[in-house]
A and B are shown apart, each in its own frame.
Chain A
């Protein structure tokens, strides 16, 4: 057997299966493209209150005194301040969790992914991961963020009303602008929250303990219920770019 036989599997894979998800292999992971809704319904949901699982997509972290320098050597543009993020030209998001710790999130739309073929070395996460070794990167240590953290995105016009039911940090846009990062507690689980806007739709990336993924998924669905929120697939996220 070889590694190709196994695709990275989301921590909420069984829940997505139950919800009737259609999966596709992207960048070595089984990603849900659609979840039980037709395309136009999903496009409507994500503009209102949608939950997307991005867990199977690549992400990686680097930490240590030498990490910023080494990442810059890999031609990455780093945020100027801790707890902020900056998007690279290919769509990869680099978030600074402290002056010496960075989190790389691969592009998360189908278009961006296929444009850069994340699975091969042309994707930034993969390229950087391949370049790194303990010996070659002085005082720069790699963190297995794709395994330690699940990656969800909550999107839409009601998301600003939904998140305060789970989180005690003020996430309103004038306080927590695009590319702001908050490391806090979400429904009692430690979380990294990153805000972005895609074509006027608010998108919050939530990265939390992968072992608590099913718990948090259910918490989010419960909190979203009053806004008629639902789970959608990666295609719905893609549809935001059509605006």
Chain B
């Protein structure tokens, strides 16, 4: 295809005519230039129809050329809802239209618009709810299909996204005249500045708008300002600042990277958003904002049409007119909504070029070509009142209507920062007031619209942030230009046949907004939710002014009182990948991790840790676990328990501190002995447990649960911040690697590995702790019995953890030592009925419910949770943890299966496994106090509703006297 609409240089600032690119749209091949957006390249090829509207499937084309509307949303192979006026073309790119039935040019669903009067606002709430379930079964799926946006390609390749922090003194958002001027002044004043602009090239309106008849001022000023900031300001181009968050935290999206900018202060120079004129058929392709036509001409060198009508209410419209003429577009007429506008050089120049100017007129309606594919005529009518026209005027053939009736300041970021939106009736424009600390506005957003005013305002903004300006800040812009009024007070022209679109995203017409008000939803927030105005992809950018004026008029309130709806972040659409960034999922490994891998361990998460669940192939899981269990019971096994929490409690009050923190009594604990510890929270609920080893009068080494230790440590620190005891608390969990060697041959293994202390029962009894060396490695040895066999927990510095495992493996080889994992360990401790906090307890488990009364010291003045437990223990017991068993061939209950009594549930299972040692199924469950007696039958509902009748058993299931662990 040829690019028939392409204009010669110097038009086309962003394109590189040396690089031709071909791409496909809707099945046909087109060519464009590097730097083209999809929309500009298609326009160069005279393709104007880009999408179908949301509700009525009307053809839509370029509206803003600034990514501020949903008209240009297209489908890429891996990405839906791409804005064609922002996305650059690439060689071989395949672009499709969205939301049509049939083809983009012939959409079978366009008949819907003929039924518009049956689809009034709020129709979701009024229809489709009878008969019952018709909404979810029929209408919702139907509408989702018809009103769908793009399609997600689930096979799309994952892209790399990441995030990065940036820091600066002043972040300036918007790189137009005001933003550049502010950046230059701030850099002069010594500030560290980041300048953020969403466009490929700095300059904002200086790149495309016309400020003087000769069209030379903007380019000169742009160059002058760029020279001033060169090398002194960090510039983020093609970067969207998507929100303002507390303390000037700005998410700025640049490609696949999210910059998290922390600024000390902010200047928003985000400019104005041009608003559409509201008239019959104002959505036809070929009808666009004046600034959109200028962007096509100046940025992309694309002629936006051949014969134009310009509707305006300010001098900018005349600038558009001159640009059109210079681009070879004939201008049939200018309709100026103002009856008696002040003289302006641009208007004068237009008049001198023999363009017919209709003062006090508007474009009242447009007519389409066949299939509504393009505009074909514009009817110009004289204004007879607010929003009404009388007969007269003229109907002109045209293929382009440019709309420039007024602007909204880009209110989103300032409002997020806490600014309030007001309305200046004399200027018919919204204003932003009550700016927060360290926040300033500059330029058009602050009603400074001429070049000189914008530059001055940029400098003023820097001064308001507390910087003193140097004299070199002057530029050559004159102060003589008068500020002009850029808005008219009314730009909406209701039509008997409707289709005067207020919100293009949501296909909302004037009547829809008025009907919402008439239905009682006249508050702007209610009207938004009822009508969906401003809820589409452009978030009200081009609808806010019209909605505010219509609602104010319908409710009799002022526009200031009516206001507009909250503009929450994100400012522009953002990808989930951008929010996700890189996958920062910390994973903790013990020092023996490589050994476990080599042994074929299957890992399971335990908090952030990875622990071996069992060793062997997943298909043989059960056999592996049983083999590991039996090895410990009958021979010897070793398990990596490095993930246990470890805390050092030191100081003259260490024992007193433990007395307060844990339920037991520790001041009289002998050095060299260990004690079980249980911790309650202030509500008396059991939240952690472990073992306290007294290594010195003033030193305890206390273990805590793997997932609980960080919280335990923090709680300890906070308590002592209040108690001021002479105690020092350290979390040394990662510093110690630990292996539990358990089984009748544990002592022999240790002796074989080389241990420099007497390991005999007499010298080193159950529940004792000693420091020693094992295989030459300094170690703390603890005789504990979590798995119920003679066992030594060997704690060594983490850097020697790997060496310890290797030494024990070597020493254990002649005894057939069996490494075992978490699964076997859990089963072994279940046989011993040792509870696991968080598995056998929940957030309501009191000590007496889980058989820990024995661990409560009675004669202490205080421990955390004691007072609450005292209250709770006076009440009747609600439930208690008991052991139960079932024959080996019974259906096996799982954790959380319910205990059923009659029709009611009377408890639940917390742990349950088949025990190869005992050859039966064993478990623990909460039951009612009436069900606790040994021999009681409890009924457990297992998978599929199958009931299992279990017998309550005495705990523990194995070695009730505890003889084996004391060997």
Complex contacts, B698 vs chain A, CB 8 Å: 134
Complex contacts, A214 vs chain B, CB 8 Å: 587, 589, 593
**Cβ–Cβ contact B726 & A139, under 8 A:** yes
**Cβ–Cβ contact A148 & B773, under 8 A:** no
Within 8 A of A (CB), among B573-619: 582, 584-591, 593-594, 608-609
Within 8 A of B (CB), among A211-231: 211-216, 219, 222-223
Complex contacts, A205 vs chain B, CB 8 Å: none
**Cβ–Cβ contact B167 & A147, under 8 A:** no
**Cβ–Cβ contact B650 & A211, under 8 A:** no
**Cβ–Cβ contact B799 & A56, under 8 A:** yes
Complex contacts, A11 vs chain B, CB 8 Å: 589, 591, 798-799
Complex contacts, A167 vs chain B, CB 8 Å: 165
Instruction: Report Cα–Cα, A170/B169, bound state, in Å.
Output: 12
Complex contacts, B803 vs chain A, CB 8 Å: 5-6, 9
Shortest beta-carbon distance from B275 to chain A in Å? 39
A168 in contact with B586 given A2-B776, A139-B651 (CB within 8 Å): no
Complex contacts, B587 vs chain A, CB 8 Å: 212, 214-215
A 9-39 binary contact with B (CB < 8 Å = 1; else 0): 1110110000000000000010000000000
A134 in contact with B696 given A1-B776, A148-B798 (CB within 8 Å): yes
**Cβ–Cβ contact A211 & B589, under 8 A:** yes
Instruction: Report Cα–Cα, A79/B797, bound state, in Å.
Output: 28
**Cβ–Cβ contact A63 & B730, under 8 A:** yes
Complex contacts, A56 vs chain B, CB 8 Å: 799
Instruction: Report Cα–Cα, A48/B726, bound state, in Å.
Output: 48
Shortest beta-carbon distance from A130 to chain B in Å? 14
Shortest beta-carbon distance from B848 to chain A in Å? 36
B215 at the interface (CB under 8 A from A): no
Complex contacts, A80 vs chain B, CB 8 Å: none
Complex contacts, B591 vs chain A, CB 8 Å: 9, 11
B775 at the interface (CB under 8 A from A): yes
Instruction: Report Cα–Cα, A216/B698, bound state, in Å.
Output: 36
**Cβ–Cβ contact A211 & B800, under 8 A:** no
A-contacting 9-mer, from B350-358, B425-433, B731-739: B731-739
Within 8 A of B (CB), among A130-144: 134, 139, 141, 143-144
Instruction: Report Cα–Cα, A3/B807, bound state, in Å.
Output: 12
**Cβ–Cβ contact A168 & B260, under 8 A:** yes
**Cβ–Cβ contact B586 & A189, under 8 A:** yes
Q: Which of B166, B728, B776 contacts A5 (CB 8 A)?
A: B776
Q: Nearest chain-B residue to A226 (Cβ)?
A: B162
Complex contacts, B593 vs chain A, CB 8 Å: 214
Shortest beta-carbon distance from A96 to chain B in Å? 16
Q: Nearest chain-B residue to A29 (Cβ)?
A: B799
A 64-94 binary contact with B (CB < 8 Å = 1; else 0): 1100000000000000000000000000000
**Cβ–Cβ contact B584 & A219, under 8 A:** yes
**Cβ–Cβ contact A9 & B802, under 8 A:** yes
Q: Nearest chain-A residue to B648 (Cβ)?
A: A141
Instruction: Report Cα–Cα, A212/B710, bound state, in Å.
Output: 15
Instruction: Report Cα–Cα, A134/B696, bound state, in Å.
Output: 9
B699 at the interface (CB under 8 A from A): yes
Instruction: Report Cα–Cα, A226/B735, bound state, in Å.
Output: 33
Complex contacts, B588 vs chain A, CB 8 Å: 209, 211-212, 215
A158 at the interface (CB under 8 A from B): no
Instruction: Report Cα–Cα, A67/B773, bound state, in Å.
Output: 28
Complex contacts, B929 vs chain A, CB 8 Å: none
**Cβ–Cβ contact A147 & B651, under 8 A:** no
Shortest beta-carbon distance from B466 to chain A in Å? 19
B778 at the interface (CB under 8 A from A): yes
Q: Which of B735, B777, B802 contacts A210 (CB 8 A)?
A: B735
**Cβ–Cβ contact A4 & B776, under 8 A:** yes
**Cβ–Cβ contact B650 & A64, under 8 A:** yes
A144 in contact with B594 given A1-B754, A3-B778, A165-B164 (CB within 8 Å): no
Instruction: Report Cα–Cα, A6/B798, bound state, in Å.
Output: 12
Shortest beta-carbon distance from A207 to chain B in Å? 12
Instruction: Report Cα–Cα, A222/B584, bound state, in Å.
Output: 11
Complex contacts, B582 vs chain A, CB 8 Å: 219, 222
A 138-166 binary contact with B (CB < 8 Å = 1; else 0): 01010111111100000000000000110
Within 8 A of A (CB), among B772-798: 773, 775-778, 797-798
**Cβ–Cβ contact A147 & B650, under 8 A:** no
B163 at the interface (CB under 8 A from A): yes
**Cβ–Cβ contact A144 & B584, under 8 A:** no
Instruction: Report Cα–Cα, A64/B729, bound state, in Å.
Output: 9
Within 8 A of A (CB), among B695-748: 696, 698-699, 726, 728, 730, 732-736
**Cβ–Cβ contact A188 & B800, under 8 A:** no
Instruction: Report Cα–Cα, A11/B732, bound state, in Å.
Output: 16
Q: Nearest chain-A residue to B796 (Cβ)?
A: A147
A146 in contact with B799 given A64-B650, A141-B648 (CB within 8 Å): yes
B295 at the interface (CB under 8 A from A): no
**Cβ–Cβ contact B164 & A1, under 8 A:** no
Shortest beta-carbon distance from B869 to chain A in Å? 32
Shortest beta-carbon distance from B79 to chain A in Å? 23
Q: Which of B594, B735, B776 contacts A6 (CB 8 A)?
A: B776
**Cβ–Cβ contact A148 & B260, under 8 A:** no
**Cβ–Cβ contact B797 & A147, under 8 A:** yes
Q: Nearest chain-B residue to A144 (Cβ)?
A: B735
Q: Which of B585, B594, B775 contacts A14 (CB 8 A)?
A: B594
**Cβ–Cβ contact A146 & B797, under 8 A:** yes
Instruction: Report Cα–Cα, A94/B608, bound state, in Å.
Output: 31
A172 at the interface (CB under 8 A from B): yes
- What are 30 of the A-B contact pairs (CB < 8 Å)? A1-B753, A2-B776, A3-B773, A3-B777, A6-B800, A9-B799, A11-B589, A56-B799, A63-B730, A65-B728, A134-B696, A134-B699, A144-B732, A146-B797, A147-B734, A147-B736, A148-B732, A148-B734, A149-B734, A164-B166, A165-B164, A170-B262, A172-B167, A187-B586, A209-B588, A212-B589, A215-B586, A215-B587, A215-B589, A219-B584
Sample of 20 more A-B contacts, CB < 8 Å, known A139-B651, A214-B589: A3-B776, A6-B776, A8-B800, A9-B591, A9-B799, A9-B800, A11-B798, A29-B799, A55-B799, A64-B728, A139-B726, A144-B735, A144-B736, A145-B735, A146-B797, A148-B734, A168-B260, A210-B735, A211-B734, A219-B584
A residues bordering B, Cβ < 8 Å?
A: 1-6, 8-11, 13-14, 29, 55-56, 63-65, 134, 139, 141, 143-149, 164-165, 167-168, 170, 172, 175, 187-189, 209-216, 219, 222-223
Please list the 3 inter-chain residue pairs (A to B) with the smallest Cβ-Cβ separation, ordered nearest first. A148-B735, A211-B588, A147-B735
B residues bordering A, Cβ < 8 Å?
A: 162-167, 260, 262, 582, 584-591, 593-594, 608-609, 642, 648, 650-651, 696, 698-699, 726, 728, 730, 732-736, 753-754, 773, 775-778, 797-800, 802-803, 807
